[in-house]
Structure 1
Amino acid sequence: MVCQYHPMAERHMTDTRQAGHAGRLSVTVTATDGIRVLSLTGELDHDTGETLRQALDVTGTTRPRIVVDMRRVTFMDSTGINLLVAAYQTVTRADGWIRLAAPTEAVLRTLQLVGVDELIACRPTLREALAP
Structure 2
Amino acid sequence: MAEADIADTGPNERPEPLSVVSTDVDGIRVVTLSGEIDHDTGDTLRRALETSGVPRPRTVVDLHQVTFMDSSGINIFIAAHRALSEAGGWLRLAAVNESVMRTLSIVGLDVIVDCRDTVDQALGD
TM-score where L is the length of structure 1: 0.82
Identify which of structures 1 and 2 has the higher relative contact order when contacts are C-alpha pairs closer than 8 Å and 6+ apart: 1
The structure whose Rg is larger is: 2
**DSSP-derived class of the 1:60 partner:** coil
Q: RMSD of the TM alignment (CA)?
A: 0.7
**Cα distance in 1, alignment partners of residues 91 and 36 from structure 2:** 20
Residue 71 of structure 1 deviates from its aligned partner by 0.3
Structure with greater proportional strand content: 1
Deviation of 1:124 (Å): 0.5
Paired residues for 1:48-63 under 5 Å: 48-63=41-56
Give the corresponding residue for 1:110.
103
State the Cα distance separating 1:29 from its structure 2 match: 0.5
Deviation at 1:51?
0.7
- Identical aligned residues as a percent: 55
SS in 1 for 2:105: helix
Runs of 4 or more off by more than 4 Å in structure 1?
none
Q: Which 5+ residue runs of structure 1 have no aligned equivalent?
A: 1-22
Question: 2-side partners of 1:58 and 1:39: how far apart?
Answer: 16
Match status 1:126 vs 2:119: yes
State the Cα distance separating 1:54 from its structure 2 match.
Answer: 0.3
* Pair 1:74-2:67 in alignment: yes
User: TM-score normalized by structure 2?
Assistant: 0.86
Q: How many residues align?
A: 110
Q: How does 1:26-65 map to 2 (within 5 A)?
A: 26-65=19-58
- Runs of 5+ consecutive residues of structure 2 not aligned to the other structure: 1-15
